[in-house]
Amino acid sequence: MPNWAFDYILLPLGIYLARMTDVSIGTVRIILISRERKILAAMLGFVEVLLWLIVITQIMRNLSNVLCYIAYAGGFATGTFLGMVVEEKLALGHSLIRIIVPEKGEEIVQNLSQAGYRTTTLEAQGARGPVKVILSLLRRKDIPIVLGILKNTAPGAFYTIENARKTSDPELWKDSGQEGESFARILWRRQSRIRK
């Protein structure tokens, strides 16, 4: 292989791919830290820094190669985007959905309960009169399902969704079946010990 092919094709491509990977890992790691997944975040941090060191070493050895700089910057931008896409697909953690409706509140609660979601209802006063505020804590991956139920029941309903960092109820992590229940309880006990 000629030197120019390595210097101007393979090396920049390798830098681009490595930087894209390490920034993707970094984005997911930061999100895991906010979700208090300490061990997994630490392992990803190790891989992230190792890749970064490899990349920066190659750039320092090839300071006159402008394509290395472009590959580094391009890998960073792509990695940031890719990390957000990966995290979105993983849908880690729980979210709190807050639904505010002047009518059809009972129907929304009934449909959510039938689908297996817990709800809490509050009576409140809005700018245009009395409203129902419906709160539900759910897994992030279930958000599209709940929004589908909401759209079918009350298409004009106002809602907000926010991340829930912690929950005091291990039952929320239960899957269907006895195996899922025991795993949820083990995980809950382990996280409780770590937090203390």
Q: Which residue has the tokens 């729980």?
A: 94
pLDDT for the residue numbered 180: 43
Mean pLDDT over 53-74 rounds to 90
Rounded Cα distance, 136 and 112, in Å: 9
The model carries a pTM of 0.62
Q: Mind listing the pLDDT tens digit for each residue in 121-177?
A: 999 998 889 999 999 998 888 999 999 999 999 998 999 999 887 777 656 555 444
Rounded Cα distance, 167 and 36, in Å: 12
- Stated as kind and residue range, the H or E segment containing 99 is strand 94-101
Residue 176 tokens, joined: 């269907």
Q: Residue 126 forms beta bridges with which residues?
A: 129
DSSP 161: E
Rounded Cα distance, 145 and 143, in Å: 5
Three-state DSSP class for residue 25: helix
Q: How many Å separate Cα 150 from the centre of its chain? A: 22
Q: Mind listing the pLDDT tens digit for each residue in 82-135?
A: 988 887 787 777 889 999 999 999 999 999 999 999 899 999 998 889 999 999
Sheet holding 120-126, edge to edge: 120-126, 129-139, 94-101, 158-164
